Amino acid sequence: MGGLNFPHGGNIYAVKRIFKKEVIDFSANINPLGLPSRIRGIIYKNFDRFFYYPDPEAENISQKIAKYWGIEKENILIGNGSVELIYLIMSAFSPQTVLIPIPSFSEYERAARNVNARIKFIKLQGKEDFKLNPNQIIDSDILFLSNPNNPTGNVILADCQIVEKLPNRLIVIDEAFMDFLPDESIYTFIWKAQKSKKVIVLRTFTKFFAMPGLRIGYLVGHKDIIQVLKQYQVPWSVNVIAQQAAEYILGDETYINKTRRLIERERNFLFAEVAKIRNLKPYPSVTNFLLIKIENKNLTSSFLTKKLIGRGFLIRDCANFRGLNNKFIRIAVHSHKENLKLLKALKELA
């Protein structure tokens, strides 16, 4: 892939090293509104907190999350991003078998390999818009579900009651992109996770709240599960700035509503415009990104990615997603102005 097949989106550092070029990053699915200026001001005014260890219990943000969802803070565990929590779950429970629908987030597989688990895959089909049939789910110690799914952008499991009928001993539902749904309270499995020892829900401040560099996420689970996980978590894993920023941004309804309106409007616009481009097929999405299939047999994802970098755009080459190939790319939803620029380049190249 000549250095283009990065493990994840958002690797602008590698792009700058390899291509010596500044780009607009459409590869990372981050809220284009960025961090609110009010939050930046709060951080700047509290530099004195840097001289103290962070709260190991993350008490303030845990209480804020509990109030936000109407659950007990004992059902919440804060982590250094949801990825840390994925690895924490694997370390704590050491599963022998792990089941993963594909394509999906690659860290589930990497975390499973770290504990030498045997991995089974469920292949989601593009011709079926990558929908998951619950009848495909087979027995395993842990089942990972990205819901909505990355990189396909769709809700793959909507029935909260069905999880109790699934044959897996523990179901980890990664809701990194659930915030983008205006009716997320209908689709989230948080209500199930707080009561069931079979379900854990992962959440992050990275995507919706535009805090990828601060690294903070949380999980919701039964109180007994939380106590087990705490025994394996390293102390002070979440820094002072991240805890503080998350605490203040979670209840910012103006920011939340503005984000949802922007993403819905621009996602629909991008989908419609990409669908008009010959040789490109976008898949329906409820998130802030679109998965796109390249239908030109002479055009590959790596070639298109490299050409777009030359024009100042970084997209996600999806060739390294298990279950996809070099005919798939992913683009994030940006501002209308930046979306227009990318569309112009796509039309000329595809």
pLDDT the model gives residue 1 = 37
From first CA to last CA, the distance across the chain in angstroms is 19
Rg value, the chain, Cα? 20
What is the overall mean pLDDT for the chain?
Answer: 94
Read off the pLDDT of residues 264-283 as tens digits, 9 standing for 90 and up: 999 999 999 999 999 999 99
What's the CA gap between 121 and 307, in Å, rounded? 33
Is the per-residue pLDDT at 170 higher than 90? yes
Give me the pLDDT at residue 44, please: 82
Non-local (6+) Cβ contacts of 68 within 8 A are 250, 251
Give 290-302 pLDDT, tens digit per residue: 999 999 999 999 9
> Domain residues of the chain, as ranges?
12-35+254-349, 48-249
The stretch 6-18 carries a mean pLDDT of 71
User: Alpha-carbon distance 9 to 106, whole Å?
Assistant: 12
Q: What is the pLDDT of residue 3?
A: 40
Q: DSSP per residue over 16-34, as a string? A: HHHH----EE-SS---TT-
- The CATH number given to 48-249 is 3.40.640.10
Residue type, 191: W
Quickly count: other Cβ atoms within 10 Å of residue 46's Cβ: 12
pLDDT at 26 over 90: yes
Average confidence (pLDDT) over 246-257: 92
What pTM was computed for the model?
0.94
Element (H, E) at 226: helix 223-230
Place of tokens 């490299």: 306
Determine the pLDDT at residue 185.
94
Identify the pLDDT of residue 10: 63
pLDDT, position 122:
97
- pLDDT(6) > 70: no
Higher pLDDT, 13 or 167: 167
How high is the pLDDT of residue 195?
96
Query: What are the C-alpha distances in Å from 107 to residues 7, 35, 85, 174?
Result: 10, 25, 11, 11
* Length of the chain in terms of residues written: 350
Could you report the per-residue pLDDT of 109-128, keeping only the tens digit for each? 999 999 999 999 999 999 99
Band of pLDDT at residue 251, cut at 50, 70 and 90? confident
pLDDT of 164 strictly over 60: yes
Answer with the residue of higher pLDDT: 202 or 47. 202
If you classify domain 12-35+254-349 with CATH, what class do you get? alpha beta
pLDDT in tens, 231-244: 999 999 999 999 99
Higher per-residue confidence, 11 vs 115? 115
In this predicted structure, the answer to whether residue 4 has a pLDDT above a threshold of 60 is no
In the chain, % helix, strand, coil (3-state, to 5) comes to 40, 15, 40
- Taking only the tens place, the pLDDT of each residue in 37-94 is 888 888 888 778 888 899 999 999 999 999 999 999 999 999 999 999 999 999 999 9
Lowest mean pLDDT among 30-34, 116-120, 145-149, 250-254: 250-254
